[in-house]
Amino acid sequence: MARARNIIHIDEEKCNGCGQCAIACAEGAIELVDGKARLVSEVYCDGLGACIGECPTGALWIEQREADDYDVGATRQHLERIGRDPSAAHDPDAEHEHAPAQASESLACGCPGTAARAFTPAAQEARTGQPSALGQWPVQLTLVPPDAPYFQGADLLVTADCVPYAYADYHADLLAGKAVVVGCPKLDDADFYANKLASILTASDIRSITVAIMEVPCCGGLLRIVEQAVRDSGKNLPVEVVTIGVRGEKKIPAAA
């Protein structure tokens, strides 16, 4: 059955035919055809993106579109036909059966490090003397499950990738008391991010949004992504923008 879901997108113009993505795909959903990576069948792609990090040219990303459902049974039969281990195929039912309640979401790369969890901030205080204000995992917008419990009733911080590196007071001034998602409006898929944020806003009762961006022009795309997501969600939410200079200073908005 076709429905809107996450599925791999392959840009053939960027693909150099190295085949690393085909090796990384445990489900055998990608093969080299005429020197280019191709999606063999939608039903073999689990949409988790384990292949993305292996691509040296950035030709792969996860998009959300109408696609046939991932079929683990058909995928295992396919793996047997091509001589690969069928037990390597991702099985969402088995994952949910054994996962703890707070970490039962299916996330974008399928590895244990992406399991959704909420925790008490300041876990690092005794060791570093400077407490972390982070209260969740994961934080990357591609990986977070839209209905994660830490979004419920939260103030949301949408952060450009570079902000935490540039702004020394990021944890105390911006992150404390907020749920957070992180992404790059220049390097990542803006349409996917807008759809993902709209899904988060629709599935939760987010109270407010703070957008933390760098002063460089391309970073303004993150605000446009957030504004699009708010419109698509049908919510009426206050949106605050915080701009950080490339030397790490917090920019004060000019008076109207």
62-110 pLDDT per residue, tens: 888 899 999 999 999 999 998 888 888 888 776 544 444 443 344 444 4
Give pTM, 2 decimals: 0.56
| Structure confidence at residue 145 (pLDDT) | 86
Residue that the structure tokens 């195929």 belong to: 89
| Structure confidence at residue 187 (pLDDT) | 85
Residue range 164-176: mean pLDDT, rounded: 94
| Structure confidence at residue 158 (pLDDT) | 97
Report pLDDT digits (tens) over 118-127. 656 654 445 5
Hey, do 2-98 and 112-244 end up sharing a CATH topology, with the first three levels equal?
no
- pLDDT above 70 as % of the chain: 83
Burial class, 95, CB count within 10 angstroms (exposed 0-12 / middle 13-18 / buried 19+): middle
| Structure confidence at residue 249 (pLDDT) | 93
Rounded Cα distance between 59 and 11, Å, is: 5
The model's confidence at residue 229, banded by pLDDT at 50, 70 and 90, is: very high
| Structure confidence at residue 108 (pLDDT) | 44
Residue range 142-167: mean pLDDT, rounded: 93
| Structure confidence at residue 24 (pLDDT) | 85
User: How far is it between the farthest Cα atoms of the chain?
Assistant: 67
Name the residue ranges covered by the structural domains of the chain: 2-98, 112-244
Phi and psi angles of residue 222, each rounded to the nearest 5 degrees, phi first: -65, -40
| Structure confidence at residue 255 (pLDDT) | 47
Task: Quickly name the fold that domain 2-98 has.
Answer: Alpha-Beta Plaits (3.30.70)
Q: Where are the alpha helices (H) located in 52-129, listed in sequence order?
A: 72-81, 92-98, 125-128
Residue range 174-197: mean pLDDT, rounded: 92
CB of 58 closer than 8 Å to CB of 14: yes
Task: Quickly name the fold that domain 112-244 has.
Answer: Rossmann fold (3.40.50)
